[in-house]
């Protein structure tokens, strides 16, 4: 098992230069005063295909050989990794097949088809997306591109935090959503370069706290598919790569309830005028709950994406605060 290192994040940034968007960092005096600290929000909702996942997907696919490109790629995802692989494959002129759950948000399913990928659907509660993906890849000779458990995926995701630190300078802490762990561990690698003393926190759904339990037990804990509105973090377990990195690099893993996610989505919309999907609100939700631990400090938060059906977004944030 090869683990990525900080230099891999720098190499990924070179590959992504001129291809990925350099997304904005937003601040809010009102938010700072409410939380009692300085918050810098890295808004990956403005990334190509609407989420950070494009970074890791392109960084992985662009390194494939000509023979591998001709055979194509297979990926499995609830939505954002699906769109990311589909778009990266289109840019690199290779076929892509995506295994998606039947209950994936419609906006993500339609976007994946729109980028030209073939979609194979499955029931996330009764079928294994990994098994389906491996079977398709074996049949077609394609390369499987996992959503998080791959060194090139992790390195690519880390470029979001690299840009954040380049733009705002060293931070005391960095907070990121955590499903399979690719974003937060990649962010931790980037922090090693530009903010080596920063604390790194991952935030996962309270209904799916497998990462927290894994780090506490010292081994990967696998759970049933969590029932949460954070569809991008409905993972059942960390991967070998992300678990090893998390043990080395993370300060702690926090959790957030669905109600806390909705509250943070509402804050992001009303205070900063941005649309965040539920998973993307994990970072702010966790920070809000633990703000006293970081009082007065400079904290970066990655808002990981904005791919949510507008009707669903209105339903969630439009209720009483």
- Catalytic residues, by residue number, are 53, 78, 204, 208, 210, 304
Residue in 276, 320, 319 with CA at minimum distance from that of residue 23 = 276
User: 3-state DSSP call for residue 299?
Assistant: strand
| CB 237 within 8 Å of CB 128 | no
Q: What is the DSSP string of 213-262?
A: HHHHHTS----PPP--S-GGG--SS--HHHHHHHHHH-SEEEEE-HHHHH
Rounded distance between C-alpha atoms, residue 3 and residue 1, angstroms: 6
Tokens of 19: 């291809």
Q: How far is CA 244 from CA 4, 286, 308, in A?
A: 10, 22, 31
Q: What is the DSSP string of 40-93?
A: EEEEGGGSGGGBTHHHHHHHHHTTS-HHHHHH-EEEE-SSHHHHHHHHHHHHTT
Residue in 113, 148, 153, 116 with CA at minimum distance from that of residue 129 = 148
Rounded distance between C-alpha atoms, residue 87 and residue 51, angstroms: 12
Tokens of 165: 């630190």
| CB 307 within 8 Å of CB 290 | no
């Amino acid at each position: 098992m090869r683990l990525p290192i900080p230099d891999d994040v720098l190499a990924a940034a070179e590959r992504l230069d001129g291809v990925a968007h350099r997304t904005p960092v937003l601040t809010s005096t009102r938010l700072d005063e409410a939380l009692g600290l300085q918050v810098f929000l890295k808004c990956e909702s403005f990334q190509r295909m609407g989420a950070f996942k494009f970074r890791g997907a392109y960084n992985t696919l662009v390194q494939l050989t000509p023979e591998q490109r001709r055979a194509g790629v297979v990926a499995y995802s609830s939505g954002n990794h699906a769109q990311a692989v589909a778009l990266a494959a289109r840019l690199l002129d290779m076929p892509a097949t995506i295994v998606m759950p039947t209950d994936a948000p419609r906006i993500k399913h339609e976007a994946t088809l729109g980028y030209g990928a073939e979609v194979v659907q499955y029931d996330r509660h009764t079928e294994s997306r990994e098994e389906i993906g491996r079977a398709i890849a074996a049949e077609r000779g394609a390369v499987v591109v996992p959503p998080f458990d791959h060194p090139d995926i992790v390195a690519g995701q880390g470029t979001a935090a690299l840009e954040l630190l380049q733009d705002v300078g060293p931070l005391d802490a960095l907070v990121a959503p955590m499903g399979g762990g690719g974003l937060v561990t990649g962010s931790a690698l980037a922090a090693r370069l530009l903010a080596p003393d920063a604390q790194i926190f991952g935030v996962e759904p309270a209904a799916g706290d497998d990462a927290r339990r894994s780090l506490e037990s010292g081994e990967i804990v696998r759970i049933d598919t969590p029932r949460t509105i954070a569809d991008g973090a409905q993972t059942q377990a960390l991967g070998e790569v992300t678990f090893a990195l998390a043990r080395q690099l993370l300060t702690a893993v926090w959790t957030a309830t669905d109600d806390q996610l909705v509250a943070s989505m509402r804050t992001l919309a009303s205070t900063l005028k941005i649309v965040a999907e539920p998973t993307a609100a994990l970072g702010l939700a966790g920070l809000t709950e633990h703000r006293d631990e970081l009082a007065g400090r400079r904290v970066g938060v990655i808002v990981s994406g904005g791919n949510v059906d507008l009707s669903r977004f209105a339903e969630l944030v439009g209720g009483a605060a």
